Structure 1
Amino acid sequence: MKPLSGLRILEFDGLGPVTFAGMMLADLGAEILRLTRAPIAGTPVFTDVGGEVLHRARPAVDVDLKNPADLARVQALIASSDALIEGFRPGVMERLGLGPEVCAELNPRLVFGRITGWGQSGPMARQVGHDLNYIALSGALSMMGEPDRPPRPPLNVVGDYGGGAMLLVTGVLAALLEARTTGRGRVVDAAMTDGSALLTSLFHALGARGLWNETRGSNLLDGGAPFYRCYACRDGRFVAVGALEPQFYAALLEGLGIPPAEAPQFDMGSWPVLHARFAAAFAARDRDDWAARFAGTDACVTPVLTMAEAPGHPHNAARATFVDQGVVQPAPAPRFDDEPPAVTPQPAPLSLDEALARWR
């Protein structure tokens, strides 16, 4: 049995973080119904980018919330739910007749999880945007990329998923725990600006101590340190070097054949010279040669694997980090009691009546 077995959650279908949050909660054992807007003239309202990966483990249920009969059925589902999650712009659920106040009357213990870019309040709450905009406003984006170029988008993992979906899941689970003792639900306002700002807490702490500056590529963890960055190899592939601690740095130098006296670790003035020296060393051999050279050492050197390569790496294979369900995909995480992870495929769609019968 999975940790969230027995929990019933309604997911109002959307893009990005709400879909990822639904997948995580379903992976953890929650029973989720993914309410989707019925196609109009054969064209889905939402572009189905999640497919069998992000939509795994929970059935789709087509609804037309402008239809009073469908709305009444959804309200009945809400009355039997522990939580709902939605990612619409502020005010949309209220216009649909399913805002937090209405839902609380239907089900006082319901946890109402909301995920947006800017949050439910503030002068930009109703403004459009995407992951890149949210992490730009939070300050997170300013720290990413090369110093002499514009900041580089870190995919959409910092805003949508790290600062968004993960914070939504955390908030919903916290509110569910509280509801068990109080009998009262909460409204969870997860904003990607808030969440991505929260992810930068370490760098605010370092900056307050004079240990971080705003010039990209000049700090310990942003590629400024020659012992914490990626290097190109002879074959055009890359290795990642994370030798932060002195003993790990010593193992790195040994593997590169560089005398420690010629490479003082924390002499920042010498970092540009060490960058060039390390780069020349790594460029002399292929990536997998370096991976073999540093395997089993404490140098913290690993190959930078592509998405296609990662599932076949011996460590990932031993832990079943990826599974193949017709599509190779990351397995659920975290795992519990050393049980091997297992993916529940995307079930067949349900009708609203079938969904109601299931939750009676």
Structure 2
Amino acid sequence: MGPLQGLRIIEIEGLGPAPFAGMMFADMGAEVISVTRKSAAEGSAPVNSISERGKKSIALNLKDPRAVEALLKLCETADALIEGFRPGVAERLGIGPDDCMARNPKLVYGRMTGWGQTGPMSQAAGHDINYISLSGALHGIGRAGDKPVPPLNLVGDFGGGGMFLAFGVVSAMLEAGRSGKGQVVDVSMVEGSAALMHMMYSYYNLGAFGWRDERGVNVLDTGAHFYEVYETQDGKYLSVGPIEPQFYQLLKELMGLDETVFGNQYDVERWPELKEQLQVLFKTRTRDAWCDLLEGTDACVAPVLSMSEAPKHPHNVARNSFVDVGGHVQPCPAPKFSRSEPATPKPAPLQGVDTDAVLAGLGYDADSLAALRADGVLT
């Protein structure tokens, strides 16, 4: 039983960060009901199936007032609702915060957008790459002298978006347990990704480690020779990151590095030269040969694994870091708990498969459901 067992979360179907937050809730044992617009008769599974694992799925035509009424009835039984519409869309559908919280004053209403609910950009379209541009995050990711490199959509959509939505909604649910009142949680991927940059802003503000507002020249952005990715003899890669002096010393000892050359770890002017020398050295052995020497020590070296390799690494196998869900290897629910350990997730449901069962729990009988389906209210 996961730690969120007994909570009911309504998720209005969307893409990216809101479904990811819903997956986090479902992974932790909450009952997550995803409201889709797809026809249940299509019998199709969602494309992003991992983010839909462990959820229930109901199909409602929210352009019909009777479907809206069904959703509002569902809100009466829920702890939270999450949605990722552009600001104002939920209100126009009749399922905005005021509508839903009128039915359930304790309801937490989580809103996920890129720019936030207010501000001059709030109505503009955008994607992860745009949001992390505005927060300062994208500017700092990339090689010196080259253009910024988007880090997949991890920083905006999922780190700065979905995880902050999950954290905000859980925080508001805890507060509602004390106050008896729900509230709106306004999550902006710009602000979430800016929060992820807190340490870099601290270093820059304080001048710590000589941090500059440039990319590829600082300790943590591949400026330093001791925090870098190096190619090996077989065309694979190692990550090297012994920041602390004692760990750097161990790396030098294990690799037999010349102390007169590599002794001054923070001689910034020599970093590019030292990187070149390390690259030549790392090319003399295969990735696995270097791992035999360095991996698992305090030298802070690890192989750069592909998505096909990662689930097979002995450490990940030992911790069950990946699980088989419906015949597909997926990352396991995280984090782990000492007592209320989440169960292995169930595969993503067919869209709309739970409509009748969920609505029957709200008091709709078989005849009512058949009539609503015949009228296209239940899609």
TM-score higher than 0.5: yes
CA distance in 2 between counterparts of 1:92 and 1:221 reads: 41
* Contact in 2 for aligned 1:17/1:115 (Cα 8 Å): yes
* Cross-structure match for 1:335: 336
Aligned twin of 1:354? 357
Aligned-partner residue type, residue 355 of structure 2: L
SS in 2 for 1:180: helix
Which residue is equivalent to 1:207? 204
Which residue does the alignment assign to 1:237?
236
Q: How many Å separate the matches in 1 of 2:154 and 2:220?
A: 18
1:167-246 matches, cutoff 5 A: 167-211=164-208, 212-246=211-245
Distance 1:352 1:341 in 2: 24
- Matched-pair contact (CA < 8 Å) for 1:319–1:340: no
Distance 2:217 2:80 in 1: 45
Q: What is the CA deviation profile of residues 232-291 of structure 1, one whole-angstrom value per residue up to 9, with x for unaligned ones? A: 111110000010011110111122211223211111122112111111111111111111
Q: CA deviation at 1:295?
A: 3.0
Aligned to 1:67: 64
Residue in 2 that maps onto 1:150? 147
Question: CA contact under 8 A between 1:23 and 1:54: conserved in structure 2?
Answer: yes
Aligned residues: 357
Whose relative contact order is higher, 1 or 2, with alpha carbons under 8 Å and at least 6 apart? Answer: 2
* Other-structure match for 2:377: none
Q: Which one of the candidate residues 326, 344, 357 is aligned to 2:346?
A: 344
- How far the C-alpha of 1:68 sits from its partner, in A, is 2.2
For 1:250 and 1:272, the matched residues in 2 are separated by 19
Give the superposition deviation at 1:43.
12
Look up the match of 1:83: 80
Question: What letter is aligned with 2:22?
Answer: G
> Alpha-carbon deviation of 1:79?
1.0
**Is residue 250–residue 260 contact of structure 1 (8 Å, CA) maintained in 2?**
no
Identity across matched positions, percent: 49
Spell out, residue by residue over 1:279-333, the C-alpha distance to the aligned partner (whole angstroms, 9 max, x if none): 1111111111111111342110110000000000000000000012211110000
Letter in 2 for 1:27: D
Q: Secondary structure at the match of 2:336?
A: coil
Q: Which residue of 1 aligns with 2:374?
A: none
Question: Equivalent residue for 2:366?
Answer: none
Return the match for 2:98 from 83, 86, 101: 101
For residues 341 and 352 of structure 1, the distance between their equivalents in structure 2, rounded to whole angstroms, comes to 24
Any idea what the Cα deviations from partners look like across 1:338-358, whole Å, max 9, x if unmatched?
A: 758622222454353421234
Separation in 2, partners of 1:358, 1:330 = 32
124, 127, 136: which is aligned to 2:121? 124
Cα displacement (A) at 1:40: 11
The alignment partner of 2:35 has SS state of strand
1:281 aligns with 2:281: yes
Letter in 2 for 1:314: P
Task: Report the secondary structure of 2:171's partner residue.
Answer: helix
- Cα shift at 1:147: 1.7
Cα distance, 1:307–1:219 mapped onto 2, change above 3 Å? same
